[in-house]
Chains A and B, each alone.
Chain A
Amino acid sequence: NAGVMQNPRHLVRRRGQEARLRCSPMKGHSHVYWYRQLPEEGLKFMVYLQKENIIDESGMPKERFSAEFPKEGPSILRIQQVVRGDSAAYFCASSSQGLDQPQHFGDGTRLSIL
């Protein structure tokens, strides 16, 4: 009965490279959310997806960031041409259908940009 699985746990990239973060939701969950957390701060919403659909991406930077949740496989958060400011912890959460269903978080991916 696995929870939300994220990988990798730690990712190091050089400026200009691409970062791919993966998230497999809890079994039975069809809603996936990505959040970013800077040190000593709260989590900031980035994007909300259901299978094959982006429902809300109002928190995503307009450039270099993209997300998908394909019919098969995990959700992917992709950051192109990374910059130092992208260094953060990226958390994925999932929930079942229903507005009052709690979101359960993965352990996050700590992205460090050299």
Chain B
Amino acid sequence: GQSLEQPSEVTAVEGAIVQINCTYQTSGFYGLSWYQQHDGGAPTFLSYNGLDGLEETGRFSSFLSRSDSYGYLLLQELQMKDSASYFCAVGPNNAGNMLTFGGGTRLMVKP
């Protein structure tokens, strides 16, 4: 089976930097993805790490260490609009193309 752990809630202030961690246990591994979801909205793809290291996309960066089964999403220069839930997901894997999602981290950005 597969399981992912991420904090349920994180609070930060505008302009700050926040890191959302994700640890996973999988039988077979291909890559770690991150999605953002605003309340009532669709999950939006943010980043994908197929190899160890840091991927940077604007204010967002994502890191993966396959030896540690660990990754994180780093959000810089936080804005109010970043308040949302963030999900890490593993996949695809040897079983197929589906994604297995963590329970999500609700980020609240305060002024």
Least CB distance, A39 to chain B, in whole angstroms = 10
Q: Does A25 sit within 8 A of B, measured CB to CB?
A: no
Least CB distance, B73 to chain A, in whole angstroms = 15
Interface of B, helix, strand, loop or mixed by DSSP: loop
Cα–Cα, bound, A104→B42 (Å): 9
Do A43 and B42 contact each other (CB < 8 Å), given the known contacts A100-B30, A100-B48, A102-B33? no
Chain B residues whose CB sits within 8 angstroms of the CB of A48 once the complex forms: 96-98
Q: How many residues of A contact B (CB 8 A)?
A: 27
B45 touches A102 (CB 8 A): yes
Q: Which of A11-19, A51-59, A71-79, A80-88 lies at the interface? A: A51-59
B99 touches A103 (CB 8 A): yes
Cα–Cα, bound, A56→B99 (Å): 12
A33 touches B98 (CB 8 A): yes
> Which residue of the partner chain A has the closest CB to B45?
A102
Do A105 and B42 contact each other (CB < 8 Å), given the known contacts A42-B104, A100-B31, A100-B50? yes
Known: A41-B103, A48-B98, A91-B42. 11 other contacts (CB 8 A): A33-B97, A35-B99, A35-B101, A41-B104, A42-B101, A45-B99, A59-B98, A91-B43, A102-B33, A103-B45, A107-B41
